[in-house]
A and B are shown apart, each in its own frame.
Chain A
Amino acid sequence: MNSGIDLEMSFTQGIQNLGLPPEIAHLLWIPLPMLLVLVSAVIGVLVTVWLERKISAAAQQRIGPEYAGALGILQPIADGLKLLVKEDIIPARADSVLFTVGPILVLVPVILSWLIVPFGQHLLISNVGIGIFLWIALSSIQPIGLLMSGYSSNNKYSLLGGLRAAAQSISYEIPLALAVLAIVMMSNSLSTVDIVEQQNTAGLLSWNIWRQPVGFIIFWICALAECERLPFDLPEAEEELVAGYQTEYAGMKFALFYLAGYINLVLSALLVSVLYLGGWGFPISIDWFASLIGLSTNNPLVQIATASIGIVMTVLKAYLLVFLAILLRWTTPRVRIDQLLDLGWKFLLPISLVNLLLTASLKLAFPMTFGG
């Protein structure tokens, strides 16, 4: 039905022309989008690290990295290279197997969650039906990795950090899931593509943030807590716990934690933009614009324009949120552990339950605006 650009079709056709069966061609195609997303995730992290350094410098009236590349833009690569060549130390009394598996268990679920992030109508690895639920389920694996590394380091600060991380992540997962549930209720689907499509009916005005302002705030707070960003970075509070569960880690294993933290931040920002800010949606409908200048929507030029605008919009919205997160990190003090748990259980949980109930009743009362 779609006669526009279909990269998968043309790729598998090309392989089949070389004389290979279609199944092999399909197998060869599968890793390509994954690799692309992996690379873009890592690039996203590099950009975020650079932003973090520059914005923190601006917040503290410093200049920040300057010599590595223009405006210090190569600084994150230098950081990465440094971590790559550093000696990998496993403490003598540590449990070496768990010590190694821990950081991997932290990183893998985060990367897997990129599976469901849509950059456009067809620009995602897989439009799985359970979409956003997959992300919630996968992010619940992370605390196990944190507990593992905290325990295996054989260090009291690490153990405390790991326990704090697990407690924090369990408590904030519930309001997070409830906030997502309210969105899912409105769009009648768990799939991220459907959630975005449902927001793109009337441009800017149909974004979920207007219908779910409370949910947006709850989701953002919980996402920050799940990413262990200030003001919720208790698991690695350096004044209290040295560096929490990361204390004993060095070299590449530390880099895995570092990477996981930033990938998670970018992922959370992307998901906020998907769930609340209309994802790839552009205020002006591109189909309408295309018909104005007399081009079919299946025209390759229009398709490329749509795709690039979609990617730019998603990334732009996400990076605005990343900017907000970085600014929050460098301007707010850390909460205490009892304040953190109080906020999670006694404030966010009841509020998100009320939000869910309200959404349900509004959906019944105004099926037109709240998704019938």
Chain B
Amino acid sequence: MTIAYSTELICFLILSAVIVSGSLAVVLLENIVYSAFLLGGVFMAVAGLYLLLNASFVAAAQILVYVGAVNVLILFAIMLVNKKEKLKPIEGLVTRKLLSGGICGGLLILLLRVSITTKWNLPGPTSIGEEATDRIGEHLFTDYLLPFELASILLLMAMIGAIVLARRDISSTEDEVKNLKNQKSLIEKKIPLLSENSLK
């Protein structure tokens, strides 16, 4: 066994252990902030797996998109609305947990069976390494152009939707804000004190 091979094997084992235990912890931990941080760790470990497969561009993109954008935004949202309140106890929580655990276990067994019975074509195609960046760009702008554009339109729709949802309240004119007598009636009408007009 060469040093290169054994390093790869050790790295793979560590990364897989991190991914499996991390994702279990993401689901099972009570504290939502811990879950969010661990999710970042799981994403990084997945990027490590890509690195092991010699796909450095994909690994960097994984870190940039999932850790740098998705996870930071999740954390951001959690911390902005982080109220320490006791959630109402849900009826039949034990049965629900058992049920979802059973479904997850079934899915795991199914996937295991698939991965064992499939005849994998080993060793797979050799990785193209550094050339991958060019090839990804080529594919994105030729045969995968339509899915790429559709995905960006989907993201744009999500963004506009989020903006519409978030700014629903700020449609009142300045006169409306002035006519209201006091703070309470402002709250009742759901008009923020600092509407867009009053800022200017």
Give A residues with C-beta under 8 Å from B: 23-24, 27, 98, 128-130, 133-134, 136-138, 140-141, 143-144, 147-148, 150-151, 159, 162-163, 166-167, 170, 173, 190
Q: Within the complex, which residue of A140, A163, A170 is in contact with B79, where a contact is CB–CB below 8 Å?
A: A163
* Residue numbers in B under 8 Å from A173 (CB-CB): 68
Q: Within the complex, which residue of B3, B56, B63, B72 is in contact with A166, where a contact is CB–CB below 8 Å?
A: B72
* Residue numbers in A under 8 Å from B72 (CB-CB): 140, 143-144, 147, 166, 170
* Residue numbers in B under 8 Å from A163 (CB-CB): 76, 79-80
List 22 A-B pairs, Cβ < 8 Å: A23-B2, A130-B56, A130-B133, A134-B56, A134-B60, A137-B60, A137-B68, A140-B64, A140-B69, A141-B44, A141-B67, A143-B68, A144-B67, A147-B72, A147-B75, A150-B79, A163-B76, A163-B79, A166-B72, A166-B75, A173-B68, A190-B133
Residue B12 is within 8 A (CB to CB) of chain A in the complex: no
Please report the C-alpha to C-alpha distance between residue A159 and residue B84 in the assembled complex, in whole angstroms.
Answer: 15
Q: A27-B3, A163-B79 are in contact. List 11 more A-B contacts (CB 8 A).
A: A128-B56, A129-B57, A130-B56, A133-B64, A137-B61, A144-B37, A144-B67, A147-B75, A151-B33, A162-B79, A170-B69
Please report the C-alpha to C-alpha distance between residue A117 and residue B56 in the assembled complex, in whole angstroms.
Answer: 17
B71-A137 in contact (CB<8A)? no
B45-61 CB mask vs A (1 if < 8 Å, else 0) is 00000000000110011
Please report the C-alpha to C-alpha distance between residue A159 and residue B76 in the assembled complex, in whole angstroms.
Answer: 10
Please report the C-alpha to C-alpha distance between residue A310 and residue B141 in the assembled complex, in whole angstroms.
Answer: 38
Q: How many residues of B contact A (CB 8 A)?
A: 27
B56-A129 in contact (CB<8A)? yes
Distance from B81 Cβ to chain A, minimum over Cβ atoms (Å): 12
Distance from B44 Cβ to chain A, minimum over Cβ atoms (Å): 8
A137-B63 in contact (CB<8A)? yes
Give B residues with C-beta under 8 Å from A: 2-4, 33, 37, 40, 44, 56-57, 60-61, 63-64, 67-69, 71-73, 75-76, 79-80, 82, 129-130, 133
Please report the C-alpha to C-alpha distance between residue A129 and residue B64 in the assembled complex, in whole angstroms.
Answer: 16
B37-A98 in contact (CB<8A)? yes
A190 nearest in chain B by CB position: B133
The 8 closest A-B pairs by CB, nearest first: A140-B68, A129-B130, A137-B60, A137-B64, A137-B63, A23-B3, A147-B75, A143-B72
Please report the C-alpha to C-alpha distance between residue A144 and residue B3 in the assembled complex, in whole angstroms.
Answer: 34
Please report the C-alpha to C-alpha distance between residue A202 and residue B72 in the assembled complex, in whole angstroms.
Answer: 43
Known contacts A128-B56, A163-B76, A167-B76, A140 near B133 by CB under 8 Å: no
Known contacts A23-B2, A130-B56, A130-B57, A144 near B75 by CB under 8 Å: yes
Distance from B173 Cβ to chain A, minimum over Cβ atoms (Å): 21
Distance from A86 Cβ to chain B, minimum over Cβ atoms (Å): 27
Please report the C-alpha to C-alpha distance between residue A167 and residue B73 in the assembled complex, in whole angstroms.
Answer: 9
Known contacts A98-B37, A140-B69, A170-B72, A133 near B63 by CB under 8 Å: no
B129 nearest in chain A by CB position: A129
Please report the C-alpha to C-alpha distance between residue A324 and residue B64 in the assembled complex, in whole angstroms.
Answer: 29
Distance from B92 Cβ to chain A, minimum over Cβ atoms (Å): 32
Q: Within the complex, which residue of A98, A133, A162 is in contact with B60, where a contact is CB–CB below 8 Å?
A: A133
Please report the C-alpha to C-alpha distance between residue A113 and residue B130 in the assembled complex, in whole angstroms.
Answer: 18
* Residue numbers in B under 8 Å from A23 (CB-CB): 2-4
